[in-house]
Chain A
Amino acid sequence: MKRIIQQRLLGAIPLIIGITFLSFLIMHAAPGDPTAMMMDPSVTAQDMAQIRQNLGMDKPIILQYFYWIKEVLKGNLGYSYTTGQPVLSTILARLPATLILSLSSLACILLITLPLGLWSGWRAGSTFDRAVTIFSFIGFAVPTFWLGLMLILSLSLKLGLFPSSGYMDPFLYGASWWQQSGSVLSHLALPLLTIIIGEIAGLTRYYRGGVIAILKSDYILAARARGIGDKRLLFRHAFKNAVLPVITLLGLGLPGLISGSFVIEYIFAWPGMGQLGVAAVFSRDYPVLMGTLLLSSVLIVMGNLFADVSYAAIDPRTEN
C-alpha cells in the first residue's frame, strides 16, 4: 500500500507539469490579451503597453511559465489580471458553491441510478425497463441550456416553486446556519434538477448492463442450481459491483467537479468555478486560469490515488 502511494505521488509531478505546461501554451496561443477588456477610446497605446509590461506579458512565454512555476513552488499563485486580487482567495471563494453543486448532484445521481439500473437490468425488456431507457435517454439528449431555461420559465416563473437564480438570499448573511442552508437548498433545486436529468442515463445504463451480465454468469447459474434465491444473491453481488464505479467516478470525475457545469452555472447565476474559469479564458486572465487548472490537476492526482488505494483495499490482487 505504501509503495502504491509513493509511486503515484512521484508520478504526479510530471503529470502536473505536463498539464500546466500544455495548458499554458494553449492559453497563450489564443489571440488577444487581458488589455482587450480595457478598450476605451481615451486609452493610448502607450498605456496599454505599460500595463502589459507591468503584468510581465512582454516576456517570452517559456520564461513566463518558469516564473509562474517558481512562484507556485513558493506558494504564490499570483494575482488575477482582471481584478488584481490573489488567485488563491479568488478560487477559494468559489469552492463552496462548486462543491455543493457537484457533490449533491453526484449523490443524487447515485441514489437515483442505482435502484433504477438494478431494477431495469433485473426486469430487462419490461415496460419499466423501456420507460427508464427512453426517459433517461431523452434527458441526455436535450441541450442543457434549453432545458435549464425551460425549467426556469416553468418551475420558477409560472409555478413560483424556486428562485430563478443565485446562491443564497443576501439578507440571510449572518443568519443561522439552518436558515442559510435552507436558502442555498432552494436555490440549488433548479441547477441540480437540470444536471440530474442530463446525467441519469449514463450510470443507469452501466448498472443495468452489470446486472444483465451477472444474471448470465456461471456464478448465478451455479447458485440457482444450488437453489439459492437469486434476488438475494443478485443484489448482494450487484451492490458490491456498484461500489467500484462510485470510486472511479470520484477519482476520474474530479476535474469535472472543478470545471463544473459552466452552462448551468451561467444560466442559474451559480457562483462556481466553471464561470470563473470560462470568464478567465475569455478575458485571458492567465493566472486565474492556471490556478484553476493547477487545482484540478492536483485533485485528479488525489482522485486517482484514492481510487487506486481503494481498489487495492477492496481487491488485493490489483496491487500488481
Chain B
Amino acid sequence: MQQLIHVLKTDKFALASVIFLALLAVLGLLVPLVPGLDPNYFNPNLLLEPAAPNWQHWFGTDDLNRDILLRAIYGGRISLLVGLMSISISVSVGTLYGLVAGYRGGMMDQWMMRFVDVMLAIPSIFLILSLQIILGPNMVTVVLVIGFTSWMGIARLVRAEVLSIKSRPFVVAAKARGIGTLSLLGKYILPHAISPVIVAATLGVGGAILAESVLSFLGLGVQPPHASWGNMLENSLAFMGQAPWMSIVPGVLITLTVLAFNFLGDAIQKVIGR
C-alpha cells in the first residue's frame, strides 16, 4: 500500500487517473441525490431535435432533447459498473478455475485446460453475440456475457502461478503439517498467485468498457432510456454530421476512462514488479 502511494506520488499519470476515476465515481454517486434531475426526462410534446451546446445545456442535448452532460454522468455510473462487475466475474471465475486446475493437476488439469483452449478458440465476437442474443440485452446480461467470455486468460495465468508455487518449500512444509486443502489454497497459494491477476483485472476493466461500447454498436448493449457511454456513442454516430457534439462527450469519456485504468494497471505493475 505504501509502495502504491509512493508510485502515485512519483507517477503523475497514475495520480491523475486516480483523481479522474474518483471524480467520476463521486459525480455518479452524488448527482443522483440532487432532486429534479432526471437524465431520461424530455417533453414529448415538443419538437425533439439535438440542440447545440448552450448556457442551459453545456454540452448540448441529444436527439430527444435530453441533456448530454447529465446523461453522461448517469451513463458513467453504468459503464463503470459494467466494467467493474464483469471483471469481478471474470476474475472470480478465472482465479477459482486456475486454482483448482493448477492445484489438482493430472488428468483434471488436462481436461480443464482443454476446455479453456476450446473457449479461447471460438472467436470471441461470435461467442459474445450468440450469448447476448440468447440472454436478451440488458445491463445484467451485458455484465454476465462480458464476464463469462473473458475469464480464460486469468485462469491460465493463475494456473501457471499455482503450478510454480505449489512445489515451493513453504507450501510443501505447510502441507506436511497437515493443513486442509482449502486453507492451503486460501492462505498459502492464493496470496502469492494474485498479483498478476490484479494487474490483468485493472487493465481488463478498460477492456470491458470498450466491449460494452462494441455491444452497443451492434445494438445489444444497455437498453433505452437508460444511458451508457456505449449506447450514447452508438446513438451519436448517426448524427456525426448534424450534431457532432453528441459524440464528443461519450467518446472522450470512454477514451479517458480506459486510459486511466491502463495507467493505473501500469502503476500497480510497477509496485508489484518491485
A and B touch in the complex (CB under 8 A): yes
> Does B51 sit at the interface, judged by CB under 8 A?
no
Whether the pair B217, A281 counts as a contact (CB closer than 8 A) is no
Contacting residue for A146 out of B13, B134, B251, CB 8 A = B251
What residues on B are CB-neighbors of A282 within 8 Å?
A: 129
User: B259 to chain A: closest CB distance in Å?
Assistant: 4
Instruction: Give the docked Cα–Cα distance between A162 and B126 (Å).
Output: 31
**Within residues 249 to 307 of chain A, which ones have a CB less than 8 A from any CB in chain B?**
252, 255-256, 258-259, 262-263, 274, 277-278, 281-282, 289, 292-293, 296-297, 300
Residue of A nearest to B13 (CB): A134
Instruction: Give the docked Cα–Cα distance between A231 and B217 (Å).
Output: 47
Known: A137-B263, A138-B259, A143-B214. A19 touches B133 (CB 8 A): no
Whether the pair B134, A31 counts as a contact (CB closer than 8 A) is yes
Instruction: Give the docked Cα–Cα distance between A137 and B122 (Å).
Output: 27
Would you give the 0/1 interface string for B209-237, flagging 1 where the beta carbon is closer than 8 Å to chain A? 01001100110000000000010011001
Residue of A nearest to B241 (CB): A153
Q: Which of B22-30, B112-120, B169-177, B188-196 is found at the contact surface with chain A? A: B112-120
Contacting residue for A259 out of B126, B214, B255, CB 8 A = B126
Whether the pair B259, A143 counts as a contact (CB closer than 8 A) is no
Known: A18-B115, A141-B254, A143-B214. A277 touches B259 (CB 8 A): no
What residues on A are CB-neighbors of B129 within 8 Å?
A: 278, 281-282
Whether the pair A26, B127 counts as a contact (CB closer than 8 A) is yes
What residues on B are CB-neighbors of A134 within 8 Å?
A: 13
B-side interface mostly: helix
Would you give the 0/1 interface string for B133-157, flagging 1 where the beta carbon is closer than 8 Å to chain A? 1100000000000000000000000
Contacting residue for B114 out of A18, A133, A281, CB 8 A = A18
> Does B202 sit at the interface, judged by CB under 8 A?
no
User: A143 to chain B: closest CB distance in Å?
Assistant: 5
Whether the pair B130, A26 counts as a contact (CB closer than 8 A) is yes
Whether the pair A18, B123 counts as a contact (CB closer than 8 A) is no
What residues on A are CB-neighbors of B130 within 8 Å?
A: 23, 26-27, 29-30, 281
Instruction: Give the docked Cα–Cα distance between A259 and B258 (Å).
Output: 24
Whether the pair A26, B237 counts as a contact (CB closer than 8 A) is no
User: B11 to chain A: closest CB distance in Å?
Assistant: 10
> Does A144 sit at the interface, judged by CB under 8 A?
yes
Instruction: Give the docked Cα–Cα distance between A120 and B123 (Å).
Output: 32
Contacting residue for B255 out of A138, A289, A292, CB 8 A = A138
Residue of A nearest to B110 (CB): A11
Whether the pair A300, B251 counts as a contact (CB closer than 8 A) is no
What residues on A are CB-neighbors of B233 within 8 Å?
A: 143, 145-146
Residue of B nearest to A26 (CB): B130
User: B177 to chain A: closest CB distance in Å?
Assistant: 32
Residue of B nearest to A258 (CB): B123
Known: A19-B122, A141-B254. A149 touches B240 (CB 8 A): yes
Whether the pair A281, B134 counts as a contact (CB closer than 8 A) is no
User: A12 to chain B: closest CB distance in Å?
Assistant: 10
What residues on A are CB-neighbors of B115 within 8 Å?
A: 18
> Does A15 sit at the interface, judged by CB under 8 A?
yes
Contacting residue for A141 out of B119, B124, B125, B259, CB 8 A = B259
> Does B18 sit at the interface, judged by CB under 8 A?
no
Would you give the 0/1 interface string for A6-39, flagging 1 where the beta carbon is closer than 8 Å to chain B? 0000000011001100110011011110000000
Whether the pair A26, B123 counts as a contact (CB closer than 8 A) is no
Pair count A-B, CB < 8 A: 116
Known: A138-B259, A140-B258, A146-B251. A19 touches B118 (CB 8 A): yes
> Does B46 sit at the interface, judged by CB under 8 A?
no
Contacting residue for B121 out of A30, A140, A278, A300, CB 8 A = A300
What residues on A are CB-neighbors of B230 within 8 Å?
A: 143
Whether the pair A146, B237 counts as a contact (CB closer than 8 A) is yes
> Does B262 sit at the interface, judged by CB under 8 A?
yes
Whether the pair B125, A278 counts as a contact (CB closer than 8 A) is yes
What residues on B are CB-neighbors of A140 within 8 Å?
A: 206, 258, 262
Whether the pair B126, A289 counts as a contact (CB closer than 8 A) is yes
Known: A26-B130, A146-B237. A256 touches B123 (CB 8 A): yes
A26, A30, A141, A201: which has the most chain B beta carbons within 10 Å?
A141
Whether the pair B262, A141 counts as a contact (CB closer than 8 A) is yes
User: B262 to chain A: closest CB distance in Å?
Assistant: 5
Instruction: Give the docked Cα–Cα distance between A134 and B129 (Å).
Output: 32
What residues on B are CB-neighbors of A289 within 8 Å?
A: 126
Instruction: Give the docked Cα–Cα distance between A175 and B237 (Å).
Output: 37
What residues on B are CB-neighbors of A14 within 8 Å?
A: 114
User: A287 to chain B: closest CB distance in Å?
Assistant: 14
Instruction: Give the docked Cα–Cα distance between A201 and B257 (Å).
Output: 16
User: A129 to chain B: closest CB distance in Å?
Assistant: 12
Whether the pair B237, A145 counts as a contact (CB closer than 8 A) is yes
Instruction: Give the docked Cα–Cα distance between A23 and B13 (Å).
Output: 42
Whether the pair B114, A143 counts as a contact (CB closer than 8 A) is no
What residues on B are CB-neighbors of A30 within 8 Å?
A: 130, 133-134
Q: Chain B: residues with CB nearer than 8 A to chain A? A: 13, 114-115, 117-127, 129-131, 133-134, 206, 210, 213-214, 217-218, 230, 233-234, 237, 240, 247, 251, 254-259, 262-263, 266
7 A-B pairs besides A145-B214, A292-B126 with CB distance below 8 A are A22-B119, A27-B130, A143-B214, A145-B213, A145-B217, A278-B129, A278-B218
Q: Chain A: residues with CB nearer than 8 A to chain B? A: 14-15, 18-19, 22-23, 26-27, 29-32, 133-134, 137-138, 140-146, 149, 153, 201, 252, 255-256, 258-259, 262-263, 274, 277-278, 281-282, 289, 292-293, 296-297, 300
